Amino acid sequence: MRFFYGHIFFTRGYISTMPTPKRQSKRATRSSGSKSRRRRSSIERDQIDRAFTEPVIVVQSPVFKKKDAEKLVFEIPFEVPRLSVAWYCPAIDRALPPKSGEARLLTRKEEAVLFRQYNFARMKLQSMQDRISKAKNPKDTDLDSLVHWYDISIERRDHIIECNLALVLAMAKRSWATGEYADLVAEGNVALLRAVDRFDCELGYKFSTYACRALTTAFNRFGRKQSKHKDTVPFEFDPDREPVHIRDEEIVSVEHLRAIRKVVRSEEAQLTEVEKEVLRYRFGLFSGQNPPKFTLERAGKMLGISKERVRQVQIRALCKIRQVLEDQLPLDLMVG
């Protein structure tokens, strides 16, 4: 079984560059006493695969150019506490924000520590990716270093994200964008991830200032997409649209037809003469077998009014009939 990383193949836990059979036999005789590569489990190979293919964006810092950069970034700074995120529930619109002990925004100094560590780990990860991609036979130490810096970068990124989840929830709740609350939170989380990759802590302002603008942009873009989709595909009933007319009388039950005719012929719905004429031309309610059913335009010509006026009168008349039917017909018949 082989796993491919660039031009590197993992075969049964060993690393090789797939030489030709001649070169392989010659190398075997020449390096019979050399050390074999360390066997790796499938979990380790998956970790190497993720670390090697991870796209990296590095925001440089003047500290990285100093002699003891790694010590200044990781050893000297104080440790930023990591709080629990058990309170986080993106599917529920919380009436109250999380308590101060549950979630809090980082201070500017804490943000500087985490972002320097995050970008330094990303810089090392990018360096190891370049080294391994150029090497014909990468060393185990290089692969271990690749996974090491990848894990550190992911841990620091998650730490920053967890400390700003409350900001996403608050911004989603205040947003004027249309859409479900959970969908807005999901869009905000994606925008927050992008903002972490591009934030420069050396500029002197807090990450929340930068993230708020990114979140607002993401919410507005999501709202525009939702509005455009809603205009294209109307899910709700629009009274201004002409209702769909059922042409086959067999689809409508006999009970419905009798009840509708009875309401129209009686004075219970309080229909005007124009409304009765419109219903007669549009649905043939007063006719016998195979009644003629005219279009809006033809019914308007017969009555001497415009087709838009016929549509308006038809909607008003049907609303009156429906109100009477809802009071008279049993519930099971209305459902049918």
What's the whole-number mean pLDDT along residues 198-224? Answer: 91
275 and 208 within one domain? no
- Tell me, yes or no, whether 241 lies in a domain: no
**Among 235, 238, 222, residue whose Cα is nearest residue 178:** 222
Instruction: Confirm whether 169 is domain-assigned.
Output: yes
Selected residue with higher pLDDT from 260 and 291: 260
Question: Which CATH number does the domain housing residue 281 bear?
Answer: 1.10.10.10
Domain extent at residue 269: 249-335
For residues 116 and 194, membership in a common domain is answered with: yes
Query: pLDDT tens for residues 61-106?
Result: 999 999 999 999 998 888 888 888 888 877 666 555 566 566 777 8
Going by pLDDT thresholds of 50, 70 and 90, the confidence category of residue 112 is: very high
What is the average pLDDT value for the chain, to the nearest integer? 76
Find out whether 256 and 333 touch, Cβ atoms under 8 Å: yes
Q: What is the largest CA-CA distance in the chain?
A: 107
Give this prediction's pTM: 0.58
Residue 110's pLDDT is what? 93
Encoded tokens for 3: 């796993």
3-state SS assignment for residue 16: strand
Q: Check whether residue 175 and residue 113 sit in a common domain.
A: yes
Q: What was the pLDDT predicted at 129?
A: 94
Q: Is the pLDDT of residue 162 over 70?
A: yes
CA dist 109 and 78 (Å) reads: 10
In sequence order, the 6+-apart residues with CB closer than 8 A to the CB of 173 are: 93, 94, 181
The per-residue pLDDT for range 27-53, each reduced to its tens digit, is: 443 433 345 578 889 999 999 999 999
CATH code, 165: 1.20.120.1810
Structure tokens at 90: 């993106």
Q: What are the pLDDT digits (tens) for 293-309?
A: 788 888 887 777 888 88
Same domain, 47 and 111: yes
DSSP 292-305: ----HHHHHHHHTS
**Predicted local distance difference test score (pLDDT) of residue 231:** 56
